[in-house]
Amino acid sequence: MSIRKSSLLFPRTSNWVGVGALGAALLATTALPSLADEALADLVESVSPSVVTIIAEQKSSPVQARDQDFDFKGHPFGEFFERFGGPEGFQMPDRGPGQGLGSGFVLDEDGYIVTNHHVVDNASSVTVRLSDNRSYEAEVVGTDALTDIAVLKIDAGEDLQAVRLGDSDVIRVGEDVVAIGNPFGLSSTVTTGIVSAKGRNISEGPYAEFIQTDAAINKGNSGGPLFNMEGEVIGVNSAIYSPSGGSVGLGFAVTSNIVEHITADLRDDGQVSRGWLGVSIQNVSPQLAAALGIDETSGALVSDVVDGSPADGTLQQGDVILSFNDEAIDSSSDLPILVGTTKVGSDSVLTVLRDGKEQKIEVTIGQHRSAEAQIDNIADDKVEGTSLGVTVAPLTESTRTEMGMSETVDGVVVTELQPESPAAKAGLQRGDVIVRIGNQDTVTPDALKAALESEKTDPALLLINRGGNQIFVAVEIA
């Protein structure tokens, strides 16, 4: 089972199931609507005009029939190719252009639209279709892969109906919620449920926090709003946990308070200005608490301090950060979110447990360096992978912290790409982490070289991590 993004290329085959005579009879006995039903219908009617469909066009690309990951359904020899692969040199017709579908909502009347980063990532063009079926070409104002949020802009020639962002901190587990989106291209689909949990961390990066809901969220709901019963957006639907790809009642939405911060930054200059402290942290386990001589297992244990960072000279290895600007740190995952949404250059106060005593420490929050700056700061322990045309470096703990990379990710960081190299042509970027080639892990530069030397498949299948999201890339080996 796995976490799956809820956007999807529109399905080629239908999976409709008839309700049957018995089902029709049961539907006919539905009770009359209650006052609660009327209130829900009023809410849906009032906010639905603000929910939009996102159509992301991908450039067409030929597909080699010997690529075993290709879906051969619909081809006359599809079953044969699925089992044995296509003949050497055979080329399937172009895919497309591909068309990815997602959801979004109007953030303000001027035409700013919110959706997910993964809905529009690498799109050659993006179209926004309003609830009344009017369509407009959209400008991608900016995206943030670390929180999976994107802001688009359309010019509809008139004011649009916008939604309000609510306060996701005050919602309670058990509250009713409503999701509206376009699952499988079925626009303006409404599902209901409750807040199942708050503060979920689903390994999508250190700066995203999720609301869990049992409202049905499926492929195509990505980027759509999750409403409270006041008609306020409290989250942006982003992912589902599912063994099959369909909804099993485990949906996740980026909290509205994070969305508010990220969208404001993106609208300002197309980029996110993210606060930075410069520490590696971990949870305080019962065993660590005993070793440290403390009673509580809350807080964030400082395991390393980055040289030259805002924390350098103020925080120490072994410090336990208990609060940040009076916000309690229950686990280590709380701290990056609080720091990341703090204004760069502002003075912040940390409550720290050091040598068994609590003390207040003031730190001036720095600017989280861009991917380019982070990569340039990587140590010179580099090994060239000439078959790919890249230069890589180890993913050290300090590098992992600076890049905001989860500690569960292992691999090597791409620091340079040769122009017109196989890696560059395949779309690799500086800052990508190469996790695996074929079925071989690439946890060190030497492991990458060994994997390349033993790789017999051309193109080679690379698993990379980009901004916290793992994707496969096929690269022709030179």
Confidence of residue 284 (pLDDT cuts 50, 70, 90): confident
Is the Cα torsion angle 400, 402, 405, 411 positive or negative in sign? Answer: negative
pLDDT (tens digit, 9 = 90+) per residue, 193-216? 999 999 887 755 677 789 999 999
Say if 275-367 and 371-475 have the same CATH topology: yes
> CA nearest 169: which of 232, 263, 108?
232
| Whether the predicted model's global pTM rises above the 0.95 cut | no
Q: Residue 46 and residue 41: Cα distance in Å, rounded?
A: 9
pLDDT (tens digit, 9 = 90+) per residue, 161-171? 999 999 999 99
For residue 99, what is the enclosing H or E element?
strand 98-108
Q: What are phi and psi of 275, to 5 degrees?
A: -65, 150
Q: Domain-by-domain residue ranges, the chain?
A: 2-9+162-269, 49-153, 275-367, 371-475
Confidence of residue 401 (pLDDT cuts 50, 70, 90): low
Share of the chain above pLDDT 70, in %: 77
pLDDT (tens digit, 9 = 90+) per residue, 300-328? 998 888 888 899 999 998 899 999 999 99
Q: Residue 314 and residue 364: Cα distance in Å, rounded?
A: 10
Catalytic residue among 121, 148, 319, 432: 148
Tokens matching residue 154: 């359309």
Q: Residue 374 and residue 410: Cα distance in Å, rounded?
A: 17
Instruction: Give the fold, CATH level 3, of 275-367.
Output: Pdz3 Domain (2.30.42)
pLDDT recorded at residue 356: 85
- Which numeric CATH code is attached to 2-9+162-269? 2.40.10.10
The CB-side HSE value for 243 (13 A sphere, CA atoms) comes to 0
pLDDT recorded at residue 321: 94
C-alpha 86: how far from chain center: 34
pLDDT recorded at residue 98: 63
Q: What are phi and psi of 300, to 5 degrees?
A: -120, 120
Mean pLDDT over residues 399-418, rounded? Answer: 78
Catalytic residue among 7, 222, 242, 332: 222
Q: Residue 40 and residue 29: Cα distance in Å, rounded?
A: 21
pLDDT (tens digit, 9 = 90+) per residue, 325-382? 999 998 888 898 899 888 889 999 999 999 888 999 999 998 876 544 444 445 444 4
Confidence of residue 463 (pLDDT cuts 50, 70, 90): confident
Q: Residue 227 and residue 256: Cα distance in Å, rounded?
A: 10
Close Cβ partners of 265 (under 8 Å, ≥ 6 residues apart): 142, 144, 271, 272, 273
Active site residue 368: no
Q: Residue 315 and residue 352: Cα distance in Å, rounded?
A: 9
Contact status, residue 280 vs residue 398, Cβ threshold 8 Å: yes
Contact status, residue 217 vs residue 179, Cβ threshold 8 Å: yes
Q: What is the mean pLDDT of the chain?
A: 80
C-alpha 154: how far from chain center: 23
Q: Which amino acid is at 18?
A: G
DSSP 3-state of 406: coil
Q: Which amino acid is at 457?
A: T
Catalytic residue among 6, 7, 50, 118: 118
Tokens matching residue 301: 């244990």
Q: Residue 7 and residue 223: Cα distance in Å, rounded?
A: 8
> CA nearest 359: which of 372, 350, 348, 369?
350
pLDDT recorded at residue 372: 46
Q: What is the 3-state secondary structure (H, E, C) of 152-198?
A: EECCCCCCCCCCEECCCCCCCCCCEEEEEECHHHCCCEEEEEEEEEE
Active site residue 148: yes
pLDDT (tens digit, 9 = 90+) per residue, 72-128? 444 444 444 444 454 444 444 444 456 788 999 999 999 999 999 999 988 889 999
Close Cβ partners of 450 (under 8 Å, ≥ 6 residues apart): 440
Least confident range from 248-252, 274-278, 343-347, 470-474: namely 470-474
Active site residue 222: yes
pLDDT (tens digit, 9 = 90+) per residue, 12-68? 344 444 444 444 444 444 555 666 678 889 999 999 999 999 999 876 544 443 333
Share of the chain above pLDDT 90, in %: 37
pLDDT (tens digit, 9 = 90+) per residue, 286-298? 888 887 788 888 8
DSSP 3-state of 349: strand
pLDDT recorded at residue 114: 97
Instruction: Give the fold, CATH level 3, of 371-475.
Output: Pdz3 Domain (2.30.42)
Residue 453 confidence (pLDDT) above 60: yes
pLDDT recorded at residue 276: 87
Residue 71 confidence (pLDDT) above 80: no
Residue 451 confidence (pLDDT) above 50: yes
pLDDT recorded at residue 478: 54
Is the Cα torsion angle 281, 285, 291, 297 positive or negative in sign? Answer: positive
Q: Which residues of 276-285 are buried (b: 16+ CB within 10 A; e: fewer)?
A: bbbbbbeebe
pLDDT recorded at residue 473: 77
Class of domain 49-153: mainly beta
